[in-house]
Amino acid sequence: MKEIKMPKRYLFFLLFLFLANVFTWWIIIDFKMAKEKVVFLNVGQGDAELIKNAAGNILIDAGPNNKILFELGKILPFYDRTLDLFILSHPNKDHFNGLFEVLDKYKIRAVMLNNFTYPSSSFQKLLEELKKRHILIIKGFEGVRISWPACAGRQKQDRLLVIYPPENLIFSNNPNNSCLVLDLSLDKNQFLFTGDISSTQEKKLSSFLTSLQNQYKILKVAHHGSNYSSSDLFLKTFKPQIAIIEVGENSYNQPHPDVLKRLKDIGAQVFRTDINGTIKFILESNALKMKIEQE
């Protein structure tokens, strides 16, 4: 019997089809098994948090430099290069400078911010870059809500709510005073992202915080643990079970010892990105699990 040999190009083509099929199914399975995540990224002396769910990716702040790319690469698979929303809490470099790097590597669908007039040359350069790339800009103020379809078995819809500042706020020379504060409701879990607010702004959140009941509460400690934030009144009102301090090497004495003591006194379990590395919360079967990625 004569042996029939298949040309090598056909073998390579069949191998390509097989691998493409495996890859496609891998992406589909990975997408279906994706868990809801809230990740506090270790970007040094700065802030960056990622919310990942079936509806998309939301990045809050981007840290001071290109370390944000390394951190995002650990959480998002290589085929996922889209950020559906970027939220800038306020125009300080340790919160937005890394966004220049992110813009070159990821597609950003929309950006939320509220302070367009801050005269920093770096920030104005960022606004020009967003305009040049035709990225939708959304103004953030109290009451703006981002929501997505509720998962099966949940009594209420998940959502991200801006709770500060009010729309009519007059901006000052200190962008911390107009910092966006965000409340994330994820099933029975409450995450509070406080940016760099001080105790003055904390007092204005009291009425909202007292309305929260029967929630497991996680606090992003304001201003890297500055002693001008995390007042006794604020902490006793919110009563977080877990407090996350995003901080790196600095000369500001952050986190301040008094803040650490106040957090300890209310019974909060404290984690720090400079000590613990990236801190990840995963919602799995309506149970919240925490995972620390020590570097």
pLDDT digits (tens, 9 = 90+) for 204-216: 999 999 998 778 9
**Is the pLDDT reported for residue 36 higher than 60?**
yes
Query: What are the pLDDT digits (tens) for 109-163?
Result: 999 999 999 999 999 999 999 999 999 999 999 999 999 876 666 667 789 999 9
Other C-beta atoms within 10 Å of 26: how many?
A: 12
Q: CA 186 to CA 7: how far, in whole Å?
A: 56
Q: Is 202 helix (H, G, I), strand (E, B) or coil?
A: helix
Q: Is the pLDDT of residue 50 over 60?
A: yes
Q: What is the pLDDT of residue 12?
A: 60
Q: What is the pLDDT of residue 292?
A: 76
Check pLDDT > 50 for residue 31. no
Q: Considering only 35-39, 160-164, 192-196, 256-260, which range has the smallest mean pLDDT?
A: 35-39
Residue 199 burial by Cβ neighbours in a 10 Å radius (0-12, 13-18, 19+): middle
What is the pLDDT, as a whole number, of residue 153? 62
> Given this model, what pLDDT does residue 170 score?
84
Q: What is the pLDDT of residue 290?
A: 76
What mean pLDDT is reported for the chain? 88
**Residues in CB range of 116: below 8 A, 6 or more apart:** 127
The phi, psi pair for 238, rounded to 5°, reads -80, -40
Work out the pLDDT band at 6, boundaries 50, 70, 90: low
Domain ranges of the chain: 32-293
pLDDT of residue 5: 57
Q: Which neighbouring-strand residues pair with 132?
A: none
CA distance 254 to 30: 39
Distance CA 270, CA 259 (A): 11
Mean predicted confidence (pLDDT) in 88-100: 98
Q: Is the pLDDT of residue 22 over 60?
A: no
Q: Which CATH architecture has domain 32-293?
A: 4-Layer Sandwich (3.60)
Q: State the pTM of this model.
A: 0.88
> What percent of the chain is predicted at pLDDT more than 90?
74
Length of the chain counted residue by residue: 295
Question: Is the pLDDT assigned to residue 191 strictly greater than 60?
Answer: yes
DSSP 8-state symbol, 175? G
Q: Partners of 145 in the beta sheet?
A: 161
pLDDT digits (tens, 9 = 90+) for 271-289: 999 999 999 999 886 678 8
Minimum mean pLDDT among 68-77, 169-178, 249-258, 274-283: which range? 169-178
Token pair of 88 as six digits: 């800038």
